[in-house]
Copies of this chain bind each other. A is one copy, B any other.
């Protein structure tokens, strides 16, 4: 592989070294930190220059950073994020597009774009990211690496700038599953993750999600499943819930909750400071500010709790949902920026957000594993476990994979 460095990857917004507090399970591993997560004495820039210039330096590390330093990992810098962590593309108007080394003409995916790039370019062993609606899983899939979104409430978010708090999570991007497992263990307070989990798990493939994906992706993932698993069942979300639960239903519900929460969290700052915004952030904030009917929110909350309960009672402690992480391979760089109408006229974003809403709406953990489609373009195969079944998810997937 060609050698990358900080400057030609575009992954980092700032380089520095924070030494670990002490040796531990992560000794000799280094990591990067998405620029919405506090590192002491650095400004957390949140992907926007006005935010950076109007906020003080962090007075302490975010809790997740502390947990890694306590286990012997070394922090080597902050990575580029999409503006306000609010996009799945990975093209930041102000700070550029971190390199996707597997397909340099394609976007890395976002919003943990620089974190994914820093891992994929082999500049770090793993990276901290955040995932509200896909911001770890999508760039991991696009860049051909592993990505882990934690259960809501499992990894502390103190010191992480919120986006939509009931959906926000902290997680890990890593080149291999062993490193992901070590980092996740540290982030959950140093829990012990076993190496020989029970083999009594079930895999349920979600038919609607496959059907919404590019045929090349469907084929590759089914080949992977057939090769690696003796059995799996194929289910429909509509069967385990009700007929109206479709990807479009997930998309609508996610966008409603996300938009309302985001405006409650950041609307005051946007209105008071009137920051300089890139075109995507400008468009997004305009839509959200004008969101007419926040009165739909109550119904949305009720749907979300119903959905979460249904999923949890189906998954219990032994079932993994399986589906493609993304409906299409990574878009070409610039395409959606140069064709803004295509963002809403096409199905890419609707399906991408719908698929990635499954974990957030059900508060479940998810891991994406890198494979490739028939043209050798990276895509991810995802496994989602019940809420708080992070140990089960990580241990089971680790047991399959010998890095």
Chain A residues close to B by CB (< 8 Å): 21-22, 38, 55-63, 66-67, 70-71, 152-153, 156-159, 162, 164-166, 186, 188-191, 260-265, 267-273, 289, 294-295, 297-305, 363
Known contacts A56-B269, A59-B270: A164-B158 contact under CB 8 Å: yes
Docked complex Cα distance between A186 and B268 (Å): 25
Residues of B within 8 A of A262 (CB): 158
Docked complex Cα distance between A297 and B58 (Å): 18
Query: Does the CB pair B298–A260 fall under 8 Å?
Result: no
Residues of B within 8 A of A56 (CB): 268-269, 271-273
Residues of B within 8 A of A289 (CB): 59
Query: Does the CB pair B301–A264 fall under 8 Å?
Result: no
Residues of B within 8 A of A153 (CB): 152-153, 166, 363
Residues of B within 8 A of A263 (CB): 59-60
Query: Does the CB pair A294–B59 fall under 8 Å?
Result: no
Known contacts A60-B267, A66-B260, A301-B188: A156-B166 contact under CB 8 Å: yes
Known contacts A158-B164, A164-B158: A62-B190 contact under CB 8 Å: no
Residues of B within 8 A of A304 (CB): 189
Docked complex Cα distance between A190 and B58 (Å): 39
Residues of B within 8 A of A305 (CB): 188-189, 191
Residue in B152, B158, B268 whose CB lies within 8 Å of A261? B158
CB-CB nearest in chain B for A69 = B295
Instruction: Sample 10 A-B pairs with CB under 8 A, ordered by A number.
Output: A60-B260, A60-B263, A67-B297, A153-B363, A156-B261, A157-B165, A158-B162, A158-B265, A159-B265, A191-B305
Known contacts A272-B56, A305-B189: A298-B70 contact under CB 8 Å: yes
Distance in angstroms from A46 CB to nearest chain B CB is 13
Distance in angstroms from A75 CB to nearest chain B CB is 14
Docked complex Cα distance between A268 and B57 (Å): 6
Docked complex Cα distance between A270 and B298 (Å): 35
CB-CB nearest in chain B for A186 = B298
Query: Does the CB pair A299–B190 fall under 8 Å?
Result: yes
Docked complex Cα distance between A290 and B158 (Å): 18
Residues of B within 8 A of A299 (CB): 189-190
Distance in angstroms from A321 CB to nearest chain B CB is 20
Q: Which of A22, A269, A305 has the most CB of B within 10 A?
A: A305
Docked complex Cα distance between A225 and B268 (Å): 48
Distance in angstroms from A102 CB to nearest chain B CB is 34
Docked complex Cα distance between A153 and B360 (Å): 12
Residue in B58, B264, B302 whose CB lies within 8 Å of A158? B264
Known contacts A165-B156, A260-B158, A261-B158: A297-B63 contact under CB 8 Å: yes
Query: Does the CB pair B152–A297 fall under 8 Å?
Result: no
Docked complex Cα distance between A348 and B74 (Å): 42
Residue in B61, B188, B295 whose CB lies within 8 Å of A264? B61
Residues of B within 8 A of A156 (CB): 165-166, 261, 301
Known contacts A38-B264, A272-B56: A302-B191 contact under CB 8 Å: yes
Residues of B within 8 A of A158 (CB): 162, 164-166, 260-262, 264-265
Residues of B within 8 A of A60 (CB): 260, 263-264, 267-268, 294
Docked complex Cα distance between A62 and B262 (Å): 10
CB-CB nearest in chain B for A304 = B189
Residue in B55, B57, B63, B295 whose CB lies within 8 Å of A260? B63
Docked complex Cα distance between A271 and B262 (Å): 26
Known contacts A70-B297, A165-B158: A63-B189 contact under CB 8 Å: no
Residues of B within 8 A of A190 (CB): 298-299, 301-302
